[in-house]
A and B are shown apart, each in its own frame.
Chain A
Amino acid sequence: MTEDTLDTLAAFNKLRLSSHERQTLYKELTQLLDALAPLSSADTSQTEPMIQVNPLGTVMREDTVIPMVSRAEILVNAPEHDQGYFLAPRVLE
C-alpha cells in the first residue's frame, strides 16, 4: 500500500483524514499488511471460498409488504426532513 493508495481509498469512502490520522493509519495499515504475509503460504488451490457458514443457498421470501415501521418513525432520525421526505442539498441546478 502506498500513501497515494490510502488517499484514493479515503476519497472513495468519503473520509477526509487529518495529517496526523493519515500518518498514523498509513503506518498501522502497512504493519497490518506485513503481519498478514503468512496467508499467502496456505495452499488453497483446491478450496472453494466460504461466504456463508451454513449451507442455506439463496433464501427467498414472498414479495409482500409487511407493515413494520411508519414513515413518521423513520423520519424521527432524519437530520432534516420536510413533508415526509428527507432533505438534502440541491444536486441539480
Chain B
Amino acid sequence: MHTLDALTLANQIRRRDLTAFEVAKHTLSRIDADTNNCFLYTTPETALVAAKRIDARLEQGDCPSPLAGVPIAIDDTILVRGDRCTAGSRMLDNFISPFNATVIDKILAAGLIPVGRTNTDEFGVCGSGDTCYHGITLNPLDSSNLAGAAAAAISSRLVPLALCADTLGAQRKFASQTGTIFLKPTYGKVSRFGLVPYISSAEQIGAAGATIGDTAALLNIIAGYDPKDGTGIPNSDLIPPEPSQDLRHLRIGIATDYWTTLGRTGTATLTETRERLTALGATLQDCPLPQQQTDILGMASMALQIIAAAEGCNNFSRYDGIKFGYRPQTYATLDDISINSRSESFGREVKKTILFGSFVLAQQQYEAYYLQALKIRRLIQQQLAQALQTYDCLLIPASTGQPYHKTNPEANARQCLTDTHYTAPATLAGYPAVAAPSPAVTQERCGIQFIAAPNNEQILFDIVNLSTTDSLIP
C-alpha cells in the first residue's frame, strides 16, 4: 500500500478496501525501519487514535475530504499542539507546542493523519541539508548525498505527503533531486500562523508529494485566508478538481539564459521538457530574462540572502532562554542566561545569519545592503510580472543539479548559494512555483521549475500533471 499515491490511497480507504488504521500502522512501521534519518520522531498514539476516528466516520459515509485517512509528515518547523517542535535546533530541543498551526487545524479537519516530524535545517537557514542539530538526512536515490527530509520521506515511500516550509527554496531543489514534487503557493495563500519564523516576508508553507495531483489536493485543504496571519490574502482561489486535458491554451516562456548556464545538464533537460510540452499542445517561446551577476535577476540570490539574514536576525532575537528554549547549566545574571543560551545552542549557520543580518541593518550599511536588496526585490517582481503578462508561466531550472555530498558541509554551503539563484526569484516576488524532477534525465537532476503569476497555481498544476507522467521514485 505504501507505493500508492495519496489520492489513490484515500480512494481505497474511502471504499473501505483499506482502513486508515492499517495504513497508519503500516506507515509507522516503515518509518521505524528508515535508515535515511527522514523523521525526528513519530507520534503513533495520536496517529492511531485519529485513524480510528476517521475510519468510524467513513463507515458512516462521512468523508471530510479527498485525502481523508492519508498519512502525512509534518516539517519540524510547524507547530502541532502537545508535540515537540525543535525547528532543527538545540535551542528548541525540549519545546512543546502550545497550539496548532492553522495548517494543522485544516489537515486534521480534512481527516489527514499526521504521523511524525521530518528533519529540517536549523530554522530553515542555509538549506544545504547539513545544518540540522539532529543530523543529516540522506537522499534515498543516492545515499552518498543529502536531501531535504520531507522530499526524502516521500521519495522512499514512507509517506505520500508532507507539509514543509519553503524558505530559501531548498524544498524545490531537493524535490527535483529526489524524484518528488514541491508546490510553493503564492505568498499569503497559506497561513503562516504556527510556523517557526525565519524569513517572514517570503517563506511559505507548501505541499510535497509524489504526484502533482496529491500536492494540489493538499494545497486545496491548507489554502485560505486566516485572520491570525496578517499577511494573508483574502479570497484566495483554489485549484479546481478537474484538470485540463491538454496545454493548447498555454504559452510558456523558456528562460533560456538560465538553462544555457547549466551546460549539458541544462540543455538535455530543457530539450526533453520542451518536446513533452510541445507534444501536449503548449506554445513555447524563448523569454529574454538575463540573469548574469550584473542583471537584476542575477542579483536575486544576493538580495534574498540579505533580506533573509535581516529578518532572521530579528526573528531569532526572541530566543533568550528565559520564557522558553535552551537554558544553560551555568549563569549568574540575566545576561548570562541569554548569552550562554544563544551561544551554546545556536549552530554556526544561525550565528552567521544573526551577525550578517545585524550588519546589514546597522545604520552605516542599511542603505547599501538592506535597502538596496528591498529595491532589487521590487525590480525582480516587476520583471517577473512583465514576463507573465506575455506568458502563462515561466520555465527555469529548479537547481544546478549538483548533489550535496554528505561529508562536505563547506562545499554544500557554497553550492546552496548557487542553487538559490534558481529559487530566489519566485521566493522574493511571492509568486507560486512548482518543482518537479527532470522527466527522463535521471542521472542529472537539475529538475524543472515553473513559475506563474499570483494565484495561478492551476496553471502549474495542469502543466506538471500532464507533462510528468513517469514517476522517478523507485
Contacts and interface: CB of A to CB of B under 8 A. Distances in A.
B320 interface: yes
Interface of B is mostly: helix
Nearest to B332: A89
Contacts of B356: 29, 32
Given A16-B343, A54-B233, A88-B334, A38 B317 contact: no
Interface string A62-93: 00000011000110111110000010110100
Contacts of A76: 96, 98
B378 A5 contact: no
Interface string B348-371: 100110111011001000001101
Interface in B430-464: 430, 454
A39 B305 CA distance: 12
B368 A49 contact: no
Contacts of A48: 375, 378
B299 interface: yes
Contacts of A14: 320, 335, 338-339, 342-343
A49 B299 CA distance: 15
Interface string A8-40: 011011111100010011001100100110111
A39 B356 CA distance: 16
Contacts of A17: 343, 351
Interface in B175-197: 187-188
B299 A29 contact: no
B293 A38 contact: yes
Contacts of B305: 32, 36
Contact of A50 (B98, B362, B378): B378
Contacts of A50: 374-375, 377-378, 381
Bin chain B's interface residue count. Answer: 35 or more
Bin chain A's interface residue count. Answer: 35 or more
Contact of A15 (B303, B343, B373, B374): B343
Contacts of A61: 227, 230
Nearest to B364: A5
A21 B351 contact: yes
B252 to A, nearest CB: 23
Contacts of A52: 201, 231
Interface string A41-63: 11010011111111010010100
Contacts of B372: 39-40, 42, 44
Contacts of A12: 358
Contacts of B377: 49-50, 53
A91 B188 CA distance: 42
A73 B323 CA distance: 12
Contacts of A5: 359
B379 A44 contact: yes
Given A15-B351, A35-B302, A53-B430, A41 B294 contact: yes
A79 B320 CA distance: 11
A69 B333 CA distance: 30
Given A42-B296, A53-B381, 20 more contacts: A6-B355, A9-B359, A13-B355, A32-B356, A39-B303, A39-B306, A39-B372, A41-B294, A44-B375, A44-B379, A47-B375, A53-B188, A53-B429, A54-B188, A69-B98, A76-B96, A77-B94, A77-B95, A77-B324, A91-B334
8 A-B pairs with least C-beta separation: A53-B430, A79-B327, A49-B374, A77-B324, A50-B378, A44-B375, A73-B98, A59-B230
22 contacts: A9-B362, A13-B354, A15-B351, A16-B340, A35-B417, A36-B302, A36-B305, A38-B302, A39-B303, A44-B379, A49-B374, A50-B377, A53-B187, A53-B202, A54-B187, A54-B231, A56-B188, A61-B227, A77-B96, A88-B322, A89-B333, A89-B336
Interface of B: 94-96, 98-99, 187-188, 201-202, 227, 230-231, 233, 293-294, 296, 298-299, 302-303, 305-306, 313, 317, 320-325, 327, 331-340, 342-343, 346, 348, 351-352, 354-356, 358-359, 362, 368-369, 371-379, 381, 417, 428-430, 454
Interface of A: 1, 5-6, 9-10, 12-17, 21, 24-25, 28-29, 32, 35-36, 38-42, 44, 47-54, 56, 59, 61, 68-69, 73-74, 76-80, 86, 88-89, 91
